[in-house]
Amino acid sequence: MNDVLAKASGVNMGWFNKYVGVVFYDSTLSQIIMSKDAGTFIKNMAAELQANTKPSTSSKRPIFSALEKVFRPAYITTRSQAFLITGGLPNDLPKFEATLDALSRKHIYVNTIIMGDTNLPGQAPYTDPSFEKLSELTYISGGGVYQMPSYDMLDTFLVTDVGTLFDNYYISSKLVKNCSSATEYIQVNSHSTLLTFDLFAKQAAVTIHDPLGAPHLAVKSAHTKTNALYLIQNKGNDNKTLVPGLWTVTVNNNVENPGACLINVEVRLRRLLSGPHDRQWTPLRRHFPGS
């Protein structure tokens, strides 16, 4: 976790104006750690970890309890971003509803990052109820699920994917509990210049077709054994809009692949401005004033 915090120190902390965290162990939680300064926050999180170096004896953690604790109105503001970084799965499923209630009051986006992409913690299957509930909460919040093989790859995803949260918005989000022949349809308007497919699925095969039925070879900007970011744009012309209409993305067509998959699709739009900036391309932005 100290390596994760070291990577976090290199991310553009100007995105946020307050930082709130909690460390969860096998059965206990730390006190709330909070600061308006990113460096101080990271230092205090690292100090908490260094003061509690007892090896873990379980692959399950009080994750929902930790989230519910940090989501209290006294600590965070509306539309905050939450980054859950864990090497375990929840052991407190009865807290799921309370955590969901706390999340909904502040409209918090949860991004779940599990370290290790070969298997789930404790060799749990992807149909494990604790993982399904964690995926469900992440999906409901509008966030993504990521399994990272290394801290370097985590850094890549933080910069490549999480950074796009501030320039784009989801036009489609779909959680499938059994990811065999999962299909999603995306309505693209005439001002769209870039589609980003953020996919969580175990070594998935993906096909994408535009409204004319033409297949599109998506560019993988980052990938692990469970996650991939696919970018769709017109070749050699970032300013050219995509074919408007109903796009189709199919995951694991006729392939048996039990377990959940999460498909998030973001879009970048062209805006036509009047005056001296006429025909300038600008993104629509989502704003996250909180932690």
Asked whether the predicted pLDDT for residue 38 surpasses 90, the reply is: no
pLDDT at res. 290: 40
Residue 11, pLDDT above cutoff 70:
no
Cβ(161)–Cβ(144) below 8 Å = yes
The more confidently predicted of residues 49 and 9 is 49
Over residues 118-135, the pLDDT tens digits come to 899 999 998 899 999 999
| pLDDT for 278 beyond 50 | no
**Judging by DSSP bridges, how do beta strands 192-200 and 261-269 pair with one another?**
antiparallel
Q: Is 105 or 16 the better-scoring residue by pLDDT? A: 105
Query: Looking at residue 150, what is its pLDDT?
Result: 81
pLDDT score for 9: 55
Binning pLDDT at 50, 70 and 90, where does residue 62 land? very high
pLDDT value for 7: 59
Is residue 128 classed as helix, strand or coil in its secondary structure? coil
Q: What is the pLDDT of residue 164?
A: 53
Is 60 exceeded by the pLDDT of residue 117?
A: yes
Specify the 3-state DSSP secondary structure of 132.
helix
Tell me what pLDDT residue 6 has.
Answer: 58
pLDDT in the model for residue 102? 94
Contact between 83 and 108 under an 8 Å Cβ cutoff? The reply is no
This prediction's pTM? 0.81
Segment 214-246, tens digit of pLDDT: 988 766 777 888 888 888 876 555 557 888 999
- Average pLDDT along the chain: 80
Assign 287 a pLDDT band (cuts: 50, 70, 90).
Answer: very low
Of 34-48, 81-95, 145-159, 178-192, which gets the smallest average pLDDT? Answer: 145-159
Kindly list the domain boundaries of the chain, sorted by start residue: 1-166, 172-269
- Measured CA to CA, the distance from residue 263 to residue 110 in angstroms comes to 15
Residue 154 makes CB contacts below 8 A (sequence gap 6+) with 4, 7, 113, 115, 146, 148
> pLDDT above 70 covers what percent of the chain?
77
* pLDDT the model gives residue 100: 96
Beta partners for residue 261, in sequence order: 176
Top-level class of domain 172-269: mainly beta
Q: Which of 35-44, 73-82, 264-273 has the lowest mean pLDDT?
A: 264-273
pLDDT (0 to 100) of residue 258: 61
> Rounded mean pLDDT of 268-284?
41
Give domain 1-166's CATH number out of 1.10.3470.10, 3.30.70.100, 3.40.50.410, 3.40.50.300: 3.40.50.410
Task: Tell me the per-residue pLDDT of 152-208, one tens digit each, with 9 for 90 and over.
Answer: 787 777 666 555 555 455 678 888 887 777 888 998 888 888 888 888 987 777 889
* Nearest Cα residue to 126 out of 204, 67, 208: 204
